């Protein structure tokens, strides 16, 4: 795939201190690239450089129209900037109606009035906010306001959407809803997007590609499940902290409890997604219990026959590699591991509470 | 039950309160202390949990937090 944007040799300094050092990073057309790293790792600076708001110390960026950053004249710069939209952590809205806020960018671009009206109404409909059209924007909740900010950016039909921690100021349940709206709208409209966050859990559901950035350097780029299953370094693994991230499919779902199939094995977990949905399943190794006999009567919904593939000691814990039809890592105390004489080849039952399984 | 969990505490169900998906089960331990567990509603039903039933509370050591006054 030809890159939609390709970044080569990006070096950037603030007062003599290097803040970005990226050899190469490419974004494919229609892709959502999540750039994740701790605060101060250079994520927002990267967005501002892509968006032409900041000039890098040195870099070559090739945009979708074949134009290169180093050769842009004023007109080309303006044209490219007009094809990019950016949303920030805090929704910034004008003291006008919701519809006027959505229409703003179209108006200043000189779009005909009836067309402005049509596109703004259509955007409100897509956001499921038609009833909010005449509402004063400053009275909206945080989540609604961020949706309007998204609509105001997307109504311009940008080629590239840049998002800088767009959910950071929202509470957890609202985050989930707005995140879904973002993913749906961006995918439906086929817009390429870069999504910056310090929280990897936030982007798992929506990112096609994940780039882990640390101290200005991109440490790994890949599909989220690949980055999780095969972290490129201990720094990445530690940052992600997730050892069991699996690809699955919802077999069925009744009253909020689903059967999720992972490589032919079924797990029960809380989930609101319909049958057939492709999902990611996150299980923390600390939440897996090891039972020596067959399934006993317990409240845990998942008892999986498994074989131990390896045992390694990490401080007071034993890390137990399991094959349950798919690979799984469990942590138990060293004392338990010794008492149960856990070793490679032994057959056990892995017990997991449904409520400990996170389906995304 | 031969389990890797370090903590298996004996008690009696004090109350069960069902939500849409999950149930909250309060267990009174032998010493009188109470432990609250959130399990799926279907588990609470299939184990037939109701007031007075003898149960074990199973807690992994890695999931226990310790506080001091």
**Model pLDDT for residues A110-140, shown as the tens digit of each residue:** 999 999 999 999 999 999 999 999 999 999 9
Chain A residues close to B20, C-beta within 8 Å: 255-256
Lowest-pLDDT range of A1-10, A54-63, A228-237, B2-11: A228-237
Average pLDDT over residues B22-37: 94
Indicate whether A221 and A278 sit together in one domain. no
Q: Which residues of A touch B45 (CB under 8 A)?
A: none
A297 shares a domain with A262: yes
Question: Do A336 and B43 count as a contact with CB atoms less than 8 A apart?
Answer: no
Asked if the structure places residue A201 within a domain, the reply is yes
**pLDDT at residue A294, rounded to an integer:** 66
Residues A79, A102, single domain; the answer is no
Predicted pLDDT at A75: 95
Q: What is the mean pLDDT of residues A25-39?
A: 94
Nearest to B57 by CA among B32, B31, B33, B29: B29
* Same-domain check for residues A52 and A167: yes
**pLDDT at position A255:** 84
pLDDT band, very low/low/confident/very high, at A66 (cuts 50, 70, 90): very high
pLDDT at B1: 67
Q: Are A209 and A335 contained in the same domain? A: no
ipTM score for this prediction: 0.80
- B11–chain A nearest CA distance, Å: 14
A194 and A282 in a single domain? The answer is no
Confidence class of residue B66 from pLDDT cuts 50, 70 and 90?
Answer: confident
Determine whether the interchain pair A255/B43 forms a contact, defined as Cβ–Cβ distance below 8 Å. Answer: no
- Concatenating the DSSP letter of every residue in A289-344 gives EEESSS--S-S-SEEEEEEEEEEEEETTEEEEEEESSSEEEEEEEHHHHHHTT--T
pLDDT for res A13: 96
Which token pair is B22?
């999950």
- Domain co-membership, A61 together with A113: no
Does the pLDDT at position B68 exceed 80? Answer: no
* pTM metric for this prediction: 0.64
* Cross-chain Cβ contact B40/A354 below 8 Å: yes
**What is the pLDDT, as a whole number, of residue A225?**
77
Q: pLDDT class for A325, splitting at 50, 70, 90? A: very high
Note whether residue A147 is domain-resident. Answer: no
Q: Taking CB atoms and an 8 Å cutoff, what residues of chain B touch A353? A: 39
Test B63 with A317 for CB contact under 8 angstroms: no
Q: If you average pLDDT over every residue of chain A, what do you get?
A: 92
Q: How far apart are CA A22 and CA A46, in angstroms?
A: 10
CB contact under 8 A, B3 and A289: yes
Tokens of A341: 């004489």
Percentage of the residues of chain A whose pLDDT score is greater than 90: 74
Domains and CATH numbers, chain B: 7-60 (2.40.50.100)
Q: Judge: A289–B4 Cβ closer than 8 Å, yes or no.
A: yes
CA dist., res. A17 & res. A20, Å (int): 9
Let me know: does A151 contact A123? Beta carbons within 8 Å: yes
Bridge-based pairing of strands A160-164 and A192-197 is parallel
Question: Which of A32, A16, A3, A29 has the alpha carbon at shortest distance from A205?
Answer: A32
- Alpha-carbon gap, residue A236 to A36, rounded angstroms: 10
A interface toward B at CB cutoff 8 Å? 255-257, 268, 270, 286-287, 289-293, 296-301, 317, 330-333, 335-337, 340, 342, 351, 353-355
Parent domain of A119:
97-139
Residue A145 falls inside a structural domain: no
Which of B25, B39, B58 is opposite residue A355, by nearest beta carbon?
B39
| Residue among A255, A333, A353 minimizing CB distance to B6 | A333
Do A168 and A84 fall into the same domain? yes
Could you read off the pLDDT of A232-286 as tens digits, one per residue?
Answer: 876 787 688 778 888 899 999 988 899 999 999 999 998 888 999 998 888 888 8
Q: What is the pLDDT of residues A164-222, one digit of tens each?
A: 999 988 988 899 889 999 999 999 999 999 999 988 888 888 899 999 999 999 999 99
Lowest mean pLDDT across A15-24, A78-87, A134-143, A228-237: A228-237
* Any domain includes A9: yes
By 3-state DSSP, what share of chain A in percent is helix, strand and coil, each rounded to 5?
30, 35, 35
Looking at the domain assignment, is residue A10 inside a domain?
A: yes
Q: Check CB contact under 8 Å for A336 and B22.
A: no
Tell me the chain A residues in contact with residue B4 when contact means C-beta distances shorter than 8 Å. 289-291, 330, 332-333, 336-337, 340, 342
> Nearest by CB to A299, which of B4, B47, B60?
B47
**A295 has pLDDT over 70:** no
pLDDT score of A185: 94
Taking the Cβ of residue B54 and every Cβ of chain A, the question of whether any pair is shorter than 8 Å is answered with no
Compute the count of residue pairs across chains A and B with CB atoms less than 8 Å apart.
Answer: 77
Are A278 and A247 contacting, i.e. CB atoms less than 8 angstroms apart? Answer: yes
Contacts of A332 in chain B (CB under 8 A): 4, 60, 62
């Amino acid at each position: 795939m030809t890159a939609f944007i390709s970044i080569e040799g990006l070096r950037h300094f603030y007062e003599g201190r290097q803040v970005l050092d990226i050899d190469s990073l490419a974004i494919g057309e229609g892709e959502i690239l999540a750039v994740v790293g701790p605060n101060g790792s250079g994520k927002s600076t990267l967005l501002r450089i892509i968006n032409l708001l900041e000039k890098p110390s040195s870099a070559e960026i090739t945009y979708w129209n074949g134009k290169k950053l180093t050769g842009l004249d004023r007109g080309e710069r303006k044209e490219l900037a007009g094809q990019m939209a950016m949303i920030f952590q805090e929704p910034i809205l004008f003291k006008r109606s919701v519809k006027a806020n959505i229409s703003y960018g179209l108006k200043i671009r000189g779009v005909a009035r009836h067309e402005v009206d049509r596109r703004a109404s259509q955007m409100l409909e897509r956001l499921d906010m038609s009833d909010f059209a005449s509402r004063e924007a400053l009275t909206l909740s945080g989540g609604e306001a961020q949706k309007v900010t998204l609509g105001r950016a997307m109504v311009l039909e940008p080629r590239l959407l840049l998002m800088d921690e767009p959910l950071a100021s929202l509470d957890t349940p609202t985050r989930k809803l707005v995140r879904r709206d973002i993913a749906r709208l961006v995918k439906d409209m086929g817009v390429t997007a870069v999504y910056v966050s310090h929280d990897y859990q936030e982007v798992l559901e929506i990112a096609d590609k994940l780039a882990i950035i640390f101290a200005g350097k991109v440490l790994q780029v890949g599909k989220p499940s690949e980055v999780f299953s095969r972290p490129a370094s201990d720094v990445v693994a530690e940052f992600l902290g997730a050892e069991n991230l699996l690809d699955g499919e919802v077999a069925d779902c009744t009253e909020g409890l689903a059967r999720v199939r992972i490589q032919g094995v079924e797990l029960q977990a809380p989930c609101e997604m319909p049958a057939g949905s492709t999902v990611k399943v996150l299980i923390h190794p600390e939440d897996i219990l090891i039972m020596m006999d067959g399934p006993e009567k317990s409240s845990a919904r998942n008892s999986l026959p498994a074989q131990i593939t390896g045992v390694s000691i990490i401080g007071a814990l034993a890390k137990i590699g399991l094959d349950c039809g798919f690979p799984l890592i469990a942590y138990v105390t060293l004392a338990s591991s010794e008492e149960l004489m856990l070793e490679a080849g032994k057959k056990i039952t892995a017990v997991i509470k449904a409520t400990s399984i996170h389906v995304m | 039950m031969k389990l890797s969990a370090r903590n298996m505490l004996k008690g009696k169900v004090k109350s069960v309160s069902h939500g849409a998906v999950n149930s909250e089960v309060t267990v009174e331990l032998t010493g009188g202390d109470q432990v609250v567990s959130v399990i799926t509603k279907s588990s609470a039903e299939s184990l037939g949990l109701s007031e007075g039933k003898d149960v074990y509370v199973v807690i992994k050591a890695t999931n226990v937090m310790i506080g001091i006054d």
